[in-house]
A and B are shown apart, each in its own frame.
Chain A
């Protein structure tokens, strides 16, 4: 199963040049706990968020769609910290796990890539997958994570909110891209 999952991931969203467009970029201010992509156009087939996270609390980045904070999300996670490896899942949550924390200093950032598939399809629930990690050279426990998420809604996604328990540092930045079919 692992091979199947990661094989699918590795053969995934490598866009042909010209089919991949930048939509918007959001950057932390140091005083806000959420960053939002709003008025997302329906010009694409898939969306991808690429970014680096940093915050002061050492907590994960969550994501919600279309301002829905009800318990309409499901998450699954496979992760390791170099010492142990584990899998984790939750149903009926209020968000999905989008990225790990990038803590220990403002220069230690955590990369994340989030693929949101068929985001405007009004016949399907929305699914996404995340690859994210953090490594502070042993200063804090680091992780590499491979996550999936489900939003049980058939609405087209027009807004994505990324949230932290603390605040996004000024070195946190996320870019939203659209991928054409």
Chain B
């Protein structure tokens, strides 16, 4: 049995910035897991994701969301980005935790999918939980991941850690 859960890279923002990119991702693993602890400078914005710098309309997503009082579901097709969380709390002390799984990212036979779950605990900034399924219609191996806020910037102190999981 081999050890198979490796940290690839961690990024902690020293200042607010528009996007975060993991580049030159090795094809050595089976799955990727991205752990994000993030807040943004603009209320109500989402964190979007693109692969391999593709800005074409090759993405889609489906999401469900609940906050203890209400629940909702949403979807979109032919988008120029998918998402890891549809709403991120704009609060530096109560950041949104996001776990994003990208399965079989390096094969060249299937389109690439992600499933992401996020939680924001803030009592004053729309607390809630969300799970999301995303699709990138491309069979290329994923070699770069770019994360960005739909509006505003990703705030200082936000952290992103990318892990690789390798199956035997």
Contact = CB atoms under 8 A, between A and B. Distances in A.
Interface stretch (A46-54, A120-128, A158-166): A46-54
A25 B77 CA distance: 32
A111 B113 contact: yes
Interface string B98-142: 010101100001110111011101000001111111110101000
B7 A81 contact: no
B2 A21 contact: yes
Interface string B9-42: 0000000000000000000001101010000000
A3 B110 contact: no
A70 interface: no
A171 B110 contact: yes
A175 interface: yes
A17 B7 contact: yes
Contacts of B76: 82
A83 B75 contact: yes
Interface residues of A, number: 58
B63 A144 contact: yes
B110 A6 contact: no
Given A136-B135, A144-B132, A175-B167, A6 B99 contact: no
Interface string A93-137: 000000000000011111111000000000000000001111111
A75 to B, nearest CB: 17
Contact of A134 (B73, B97, B133): B133
Nearest to A108: B111
A23 to B, nearest CB: 7
B168 A137 contact: no
Given A109-B104, A138-B77, A142-B75, A85 B64 contact: yes
Interface residues of B, number: 58
Given A21-B4, A24-B168, A177-B4, A6 B131 contact: yes
Interface stretch (A7-15, A60-68, A149-157): A7-15
A10 B1 contact: no
A26 to B, nearest CB: 10
A110 B113 contact: yes
B74 interface: yes
Contacts of A81: 62, 73, 75
Contacts of A110: 113
A146 interface: yes
B105 to A, nearest CB: 10
Interface string A1-44: 11101110111001101111111110000000000000000010
Given A136-B135, A143-B133, A52 B66 contact: no
A21 B133 contact: no
B78 interface: yes
Contact of A80 (B63, B78, B168): B63
A7 B122 CA distance: 13
Nearest to A85: B73
16 contacts: A2-B71, A7-B119, A17-B6, A25-B168, A50-B30, A50-B101, A81-B75, A82-B74, A85-B72, A109-B103, A109-B104, A111-B114, A135-B134, A138-B75, A138-B78, A177-B4
